[in-house]
Amino acid sequence: MTRVLVIGGSDAGISAGLRVHELAPDVRPLLVVADGYPNFSICGIPYHVSGEVSDWRSLAHRTRADLENAGLDLRLNTRAVAVDPDARTVTVTSDRGQEQLVYDQLVIGTGAVPIRPPIEGLNQLGPADGVHLLHTMDDTFALTATLDRSPRSAVVVGGGYIGLEMVEALRTRDIDVTLVERLPQVLSTVDPELGALVADELRAHDVDIRTGTLVHRIERTTAGLKVSGSNGFEKRADVVLVVVGVRPDTALAETAGVKLGVRGAIAVDRGMRTNVDGIFAAGDCVHTYHRLLGQDVYLPLGTTAHKQGRVAGENALGGSREFTGSLGTQVLKVFDLAIARTGLRDHEAVGFRPVTVETVADDHKAYYPGARPIHLRITGDADSGRLLGAQLVGHRDSAVHKRVDTYAAAIHHAMAVADIEDLDLSYTPPLGSPFDAVQTAAQAWVRQAG
């Protein structure tokens, strides 16, 4: 019987293990999880911090019993520290001490770890001082313990997805928030025209935004924490949260001689195979094949990790499945706005001649009460007319998340922008228009650039 060992209990690891047992019911993969929280939704952490998800246990996609009933064996609070690919063993440490686990096929799903920027004082201060990074459930518990002391002010360093979600979470708890971002705009994953809409939404909820500002120092004073940086920035706060992104966690893979690729992530082929026989990898620790660019990028996303995990699990049993590629489809809620994107922006569209056209269209027929505008930016190739990307910002109730999925499906199947007009989309006045907003935007692109 094939012995499948999976390192990591988040999206990729769980998906790999479930796929193995699904295809080979006589095989029970062993999952080694560094903490005690397998299959927890890291994406849900901001909503527990805000209090909207009151019980942290609700963040579990499946309980331990659910996972075991689904055919997985678990070793929790067990850290894998080294791999011997010749002996096909993994050295692990736990309260049992150190031991070696034997495998026939190994799947590494160690994920990512938070980036610790070179801020003076960050390595000396920690949760006891009110200074936090945020990525794991233990990080979450440390932060909620700080928030339970009723702080009145916070500085959030990092204006990306997690930073913005945490700004909202802290404001939901009625904490004064200053958001510091080193780039010229918040949410730099969308064009500046749409980033400005996000900034307006933040200011409407009394968030103090400081863009183009690099934090240099965090220090504890008798009056609390003091954060200082470029352009004369100085702010006192009760809590500081540093969320400037993640990097792939490759320490374990490197002990096995696994090669690294883009941005230091584990290099894998589209079958999630590493260069070492019998070792697969998936999720936020690996680089990702981009379907449009036809090359590898580092694009850590939960949706991608789930898909890659299933590929790794299937191929660990001798399969030949390939990951079809990512488009970077993402959506974010910031207060009452939803912001979504898929595919490429102009500066990312290497090998194409991109043209981007912006349109504003109502989310449903204007005569039905409550119509709201959606801002759409469509990117297409001027030579071929092929759809390359889309960015949308609209009210959270305007189905922005589903509309971006229409574009994602179109890009996946290499459709032209003009072809979107012909899609047979649903319509009723309270929810849409005869030509949906996604089609209106495509028509505008064809008129201006097609």
CATH classification of the domain holding 270:
3.50.50.60
pLDDT in tens, 180-197: 999 999 999 999 999 999
For residues 75 and 176, state if they share a domain. Answer: no
Structure tokens at 233: 């920035």
Residue ending a domain, choose from 316, 351, 367 = 316
> Does residue 280 sit in the same domain as residue 208?
no
Q: Is residue 103 part of a domain?
A: yes
Q: Which domain holds residue 208?
A: 127-244
pLDDT category at 2 given cuts 50, 70, 90 is: confident
Average pLDDT over residues 91-115: 97
Does residue 160 sit in the same domain as residue 196? yes
Which pair of tokens denotes residue 249? 């966690």
**pLDDT value at residue 1:** 73
Q: How many domains does the chain have?
A: 3
- CA nearest to 144, candidates 158, 153, 134: 134
Given a cut of 90, is residue 450 above it in pLDDT?
A: no
Longest dimension (CA), the chain: 70
- For the full predicted model, state whether its pTM sits above 0.85: yes
Beta bridge pairs of residue 84: 89
pLDDT band at 239 (very low <50, low <70, confident <90, very high): very high
Kindly report each contact of residues 360-364 with a partner whose C-beta sits within 8 Å and lies 24 or more positions away, as own/partner. Answer: 361/433, 361/437, 361/440, 361/441, 362/433, 362/437, 363/394, 363/395, 363/397, 363/398, 363/399, 363/432, 363/437, 364/429, 364/430, 364/431, 364/432, 364/433
d(CA 365, CA 361): 10
Spatial CA neighbour of 135 closest among 63, 278, 255, 35: 35
pLDDT digits (tens, 9 = 90+) for 46-101: 999 999 999 999 999 999 999 999 999 999 999 999 999 999 999 999 999 999 99
- Do 251 and 105 sit in the same domain of this protein? yes
**Spatial CA neighbour of 16 closest among 31, 1, 36:** 31
Note whether 188 and 40 are same-domain residues.
no
Q: What pLDDT does residue 146 have?
A: 97
Cross-strand partners of 83: 90
Mean pLDDT of the chain: 97
Sheet holding 224-229, edge to edge: 215-221, 224-229, 234-237
Q: How many CB atoms lie within 10 A of CB 289?
A: 21
Q: What is the mean pLDDT of residues 342-354?
A: 97
The per-residue pLDDT for 223 is: 86
For the question of residue 285 being annotated catalytic, the response is no
Determine the average pLDDT of the residues in 5-26: 97
Q: Are 275 and 309 within one domain? A: yes
Candidate list 23, 43, 53, 360, residue with the active-site label:
43
**Cα gap 283→16, rounded to integer Å:** 10
Nearest to 390 by CA among 450, 348, 433, 447: 348
